[in-house]
């Protein structure tokens, strides 16, 4: 079974530029998560989708970050404009269906963003 | 809010040594607890979990017991191998099913095992 796919794997931009990350979850997984992992810290949840609806975006900096999952499958996370402190690894994860009880989150390889 | 604290690394051990990585948590409810592992160049993988007090999670020779009285979930392995070299993250989930399955992670502990 294919895992969670993310692209690009690496991205370098200058501050104030825009950037977008793409995630394709495991087939059939209803729940999708975006985490931000700053160097030396553990991952922090930015946003969680159940199908195409947002379950939790309480830690998403909405003035510059946006995310969508229009058809309940792929998702895109955008930063506009980027700041130096956005340099991090952005992880996408998916799970079968959180409403069905606990289910394991499967993580993609991440996108490493460097903002200069 | 809920949080996880784990010992800082790096932890450097010789092959076949005993491993302990400490993890303590703060939570208002009854969280589920997890250990995730990140091997070099790979994504996070679930290593083991425990969903209630006194549960023991185990996998690949690693064990951790959910201790509610000490709010701890320490990771142990009796004999480490070079292939165990990775970053280990302790995490909790505020919800077990229901409205959210959000994971709260510790800062990670780098384990380096030397031959």
DSSP letters, A41-60, are S--EEEEEEETTEEEE-TTS
Stretch A10-28: mean pLDDT: 96
Average pLDDT over residues A36-47: 93
Mean pLDDT of all residues in B3-26 = 95
CB-based contacts of B68, cutoff 8 Å, min separation 6: B53, B54
| pLDDT value at A38 more than 60 | yes
What average pLDDT is seen over chain A? 92
**pLDDT at B2 (0 to 100):** 87
| Residue B98's pLDDT band (cuts 50, 70, 90) | very low
**Interchain contact B93–A (C-beta under 8 A):** yes
What are A's interface residues with B at a Cβ cutoff of 8 A? 3-4, 31, 33, 35, 40-45, 48, 55-56, 91, 93, 95, 98-105, 107-110
Residues from chain A that touch B101, judged by Cβ atoms under 8 A, are: 31, 48, 95, 98, 102-103, 105
Residue B99 has pLDDT above 80, yes or no: no
Is B105 within 8 Å of A44 when comparing Cβ atoms? yes
For residue A13, what are its two tokens? 């931009």
pLDDT at A40: 86
Give the distance, in angstroms, between the CA of residue B74 and the centroid of all CA atoms in the same chain.
Answer: 7
Q: In angstroms, rounded to a whole number, what is the distance separating the alpha carbons of residues A6 and A19?
A: 14
Shortest Cα distance from A109 to chain B (angstroms)? 4
CB contact, 8 Å: B42 with chain A? yes
Please give the DSSP secondary-structure letter assigned to residue A27: T
Pairwise CB contact (< 8 Å): A98 & B101? yes
Nearest one of B62, B58, B68 to B21, comparing CA atoms: B62
pLDDT of residue B43: 85
The pLDDT, as a whole number, for residue B97 is: 47
């Amino acid at each position: 079974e294919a895992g969670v796919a993310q692209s690009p794997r690496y991205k370098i931009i200058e501050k104030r530029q825009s950037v977008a990350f793409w995630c394709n979850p495991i087939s059939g997984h209803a729940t999708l998560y975006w985490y931000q992992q700053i160097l030396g810290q553990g991952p922090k949840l930015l946003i969680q989708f159940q199908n195409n609806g947002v379950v939790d975006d309480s830690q998403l900096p909405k003035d510059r970050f946006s995310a969508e999952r229009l058809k309940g499958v792929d998702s895109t996370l955008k930063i506009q404009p980027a700041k130096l402190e956005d340099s991090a690894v952005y992880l996408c994860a998916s799970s079968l269906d959180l409403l069905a009880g606990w289910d394991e989150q499967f993580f993609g390889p991440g996108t490493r963003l460097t903002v200069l | 809010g809920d949080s996880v604290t784990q010992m800082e690394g790096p932890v450097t051990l010789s092959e076949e040594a005993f491993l302990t990585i400490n993890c303590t948590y703060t939570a208002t409810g009854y969280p589920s607890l997890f250990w995730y592992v990140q091997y070099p160049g790979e994504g996070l993988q679930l290593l083991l979990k425990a969903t209630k007090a006194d549960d023991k999670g185990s996998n690949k020779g690693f064990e951790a017991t959910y201790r509610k009285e000490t709010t701890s979930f320490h990771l142990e392995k009796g004999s480490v191998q070079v292939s165990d070299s990775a970053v280990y993250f302790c995490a909790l989930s505020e919800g077990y099913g229901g409205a959210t399955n959000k994971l709260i992670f510790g800062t990670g502990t780098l384990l380096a095992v030397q031959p």
